[in-house]
Structure 1
């Protein structure tokens, strides 16, 4: 596993040819300052105080070295000149500001301080290089052409009128580069959102599969126990009627044996569709418990509404007109039901309520089938 930290992954300050002043040594040092600035920006990705401290020190040390190099060049031609003295003053103001920001990073959230430092460095370097360093370069260039300092300054002022245009061009070029990177990040962001949405959808599908009977598309027995626990708790808390309906398809084994398993599966699917068409409320939960066994959990305002729901289900299955000539009670498919509607007490459990419903279903079968026992 590669744990190497890449501190050059992103660039907040892009080198541009307009930053070149024409002295190779100085240009290379400016590039290194910008490289250190970008390294500092990349520490925002990592919460590592030691890393930040090291890069702050590296930046300060290199800036000191760079300023000394510049001043040796400038002083050779402009020693004691007020432009040179002002340039020196700018250099001297830089390090205290950086060191002050570094000190603040030990007291506050260093990410915030790094961002503040980066903004300061971007402004300082861009203006310092394009304006002050270029100005010094042009003065020396004209002095080398045998101009007096006064003449060199005048020519430099005229030349520096173009610096605004140069600065604008530089900003536009940097903006283009940053915009390109922003677009890339936006694409990555959108791709991540899409991947997260697909993952969420896949997880939802997996959840649906885990709680769904694949043949009938009703909830399965596993989910029955979870919903029962939740709905029983809710009914106790809100004092509402909890209705439990349990039913079997009458003589389904005979139906399956006579018509075949394909027809039998089709019958179960149609029963499932019929249940879903009736159980549409948010608290209606239809289940296939297994084989020809089905159940419904729902909340109602009174016991009579629970019975009406059971009657509606029985009628909808009868209306399917599914032939079952091997049945002893009807030429078409019928069901036997047990139903319990009550406001549960704190003593009620899933087990004791299901025992009551199962007894009612058993009684419906024993009394001739195609009946509802409440």
Structure 2
């Protein structure tokens, strides 16, 4: 689907047969100008300044090329006539008028500035084509028939006055209305897009909040069960090892009693950060599943990957050197770890796997804590 066919593309300046002046090359260039003007208007939808500036510069550059090319076409027949001089003067004033308009509205947003420029361009280009260019086209046509410049100009004046003048005013009025309504629709669409994006962002935040532990920023128990089920099914399909690491902080209650709950919360945050830094692979999922209890779920191809990750985790937590003089085994915080790594069968489920890993965590604690148990 081309840009002009897109449902998101607005034509603030639709091309009309009335804009054809009868000169093939000039009509072709006019159509390109109208297309570039519509492209500029459509950059207002996304409100990206670089896109707006690029589209404006492209239009200005092509307008400059068109004016030069058009003048050469008219010069072939009119040379230094007053009619051609007036036409060149109109071209010369075009860009300074646009720049003046931008400067006049400099306190507004870029979107509002360009909208004002677009309104000016639509009326200027409409009048320029159906009045000035059409007059010159008629003059040249009459000269080609053998008339003198003055005779050709009189024919042009006669044809472009009266009912044609009324038609010109009608067309200009119609295009003013069409462009105003289209720009209004674009503003409404922009407002709707912004509202939808804001709603989507809010829903995303709510979704993240619903699966996130607020203290540690890890996933919570609710999400643990969802990921557990998904990853186990994946491991079953792909014949991988489904691995679960479950650990809790040794003597955490004594730490809270000695240092206070604020200190305990800070310790939990540090554990959460350590978990995120340890679980770097996209397939690693880290959770806070209880007060001082944490879990990691992941799939792997090697049976020893789970134990190696548990060792790394234990080392990283020991390196945090979180003071815990209430502990009976160390002056610093330690953790007890149970783990399981299996290629799951149809008989394996959340309850059976968690029963195994819970048992191994219990053995780690009963065996003196600060232990990793991967068998029973």
- Same fold by TM (over 0.5)? yes
* Corresponding position of 1:331: 331
Paired residue total: 219
Partners of 2:220 and 2:252 in 1: how far apart? 19
Pairs within 5 Å for 1:91-102: none
Which moves more between the two structures, 188-197 or 161-170?
161-170
Q: Deviations over 1:191-247 (max 9, x none)?
A: 100100000000000011111111111111011111111111111111111110000
Rounded Cα–Cα distance in structure 2 between residues aligned with 1:204 and 1:255: 36
Q: 1:165 Cα shift?
A: 3.0
Structure 2 CA distance for aligned equivalents of residues 159 and 364 of structure 1 = 101
SS of alignment partner, residue 283 of structure 2: coil
Instruction: Give the corresponding residue for 1:350.
Output: 350
2:246 aligned with 1:246: yes
C-alpha distance in structure 2 between counterparts of 1:241 and 1:270, whole Å: 29
Deviation at 1:161, TM superposition (A): 5.3
Give the drift of 1:162. Answer: 2.7
User: Alpha-carbon deviation of 1:318?
Assistant: 0.6
TM-align CA RMSD: 1.8
Match of 2:301 in 1: 301
Counterpart for residue 162 of structure 2: 162
Give the equivalent residue in structure 2 for 1:210. Answer: 210
TM-score by length of 1: 0.57
State the alpha-carbon separation in 1 of the partners of residues 340 and 181 from structure 2.
65
Corresponding residue for residue 131 of structure 2: none
Deviates more, 1:205-214 or 1:163-172: 163-172
Gaps of 5+ in 2: 1-157
1:171: Cα distance to partner? 1.3
How big is the shift at 1:164? 2.5
Unaligned 5+ residue runs, structure 1? 1-157
In 1, distance between residues paired with 2:335 and 2:166? 88
Does residue 366 of structure 1 match 2:356?
no
The question of 1:186 aligning with 2:186 is answered yes
1:321–1:166 Cα change, 3 Å: same
Q: 1:160: how far off?
A: 8.8
| Greater mean alpha carbon deviation, residues 275-284 or residues 214-223 | 275-284
Instruction: Report SS of the residue matched to 1:303.
Output: coil
TM-score of the two chains, using structure 2 as the length reference: 0.56
Highest CA radius of gyration, 1 or 2?
1
Give 1:264-279 correspondences, 5 Å limit: 264-279=264-279
Tell me by how many angstroms 1:300 deviates: 1.4
| 2:78 corresponding residue in structure 1 | none
Distance 1:163 1:322 in 2: 91
Task: Give SS of 2:288's match.
Answer: strand
Shift of 1:333: 0.4
Cα distance in structure 2, aligned partners of 1:280 and 1:197: 30
Q: Which residue of 1 aligns with 2:201?
A: 201
CA distance, structure 1, for counterparts of residue 268 and residue 301 of structure 2: 30
Distance 1:372 1:313 in 2: 10
